[in-house]
A = this chain, B = another copy of it.
Amino acid sequence: MHWHETNVTVRFNEADQWGMVWYANYFAYVEVARTEVLESVDLLPNQLVDLGFIAPIIHLECDYKAPARYNQKLTVRLTLLPQDVARLVFAFEIVDAEDRTCMVRGSTHQVLLKSNGTMVYKLKGELEKRIHRLARYFEVGTMH
C-alpha cells in the first residue's frame, strides 16, 4: 500500500489561543493531499461533476495524538483503503515533517452518487476507469 505524501506549514490563523492547530483545521491539510491525488487521475470535484457524479463525505473519524503548532512543518500522508463496494475510504496521517511524530490519524468515507442523487453501487465506464487508476496508484505508488 502506497501513501501519497505532501507538505504543509501551519498558518498563523489555523492555531487557536493555545497556539495549537484547532482540531477541525487539520482537515484542510487532508484536502491538500487529496486534491493532488485526484488531480493526477482527473477526479477533481468539478471533473467528477462533469462525468455526472458527486462524492459526498458521509463519515469522518480522527484521532488526535499530539498538537501541531504555528509554523510547524507537517507531512500529510494519504492512502485509499480497498473496498468491496463503490465507496472511497481514504486513510490519512499527519506527521511532523522532520521527526515524523504523528499528530493526527483518521479516515473519510465517501459514497458515489449520480447527479440526480441515486447511489452508485457498481462502477462503470469512465468513472470506473478513473477510480481504478486511483486505486492502482495507491497499490503500486506510481501513476503508470
Contacts from A to B (Cβ < 8 Å): 9, 11-13, 15-20, 22-25, 27-28, 31-32, 35, 39, 44-46, 54, 56-64, 67, 70-71, 106, 108
Q: For residue A35, which residues in chain B have a CB less than 8 angstroms away from its CB?
A: 9, 11-12, 71
Q: For residue A60, which residues in chain B have a CB less than 8 angstroms away from its CB?
A: 23, 60-62, 64, 106
Q: For residue A25, which residues in chain B have a CB less than 8 angstroms away from its CB?
A: 13, 24
Give the residue of B18, B31, B45, B61 whose beta carbon is less than 8 angstroms from that of A11.
B31
Q: In the complex the two chains form, what is the Cα distance from A58 to B57 in whole Å?
A: 21
Q: For residue A28, which residues in chain B have a CB less than 8 angstroms away from its CB?
A: 11, 13, 24
Q: In the complex the two chains form, what is the Cα distance from A62 to B13 in whole Å?
A: 18
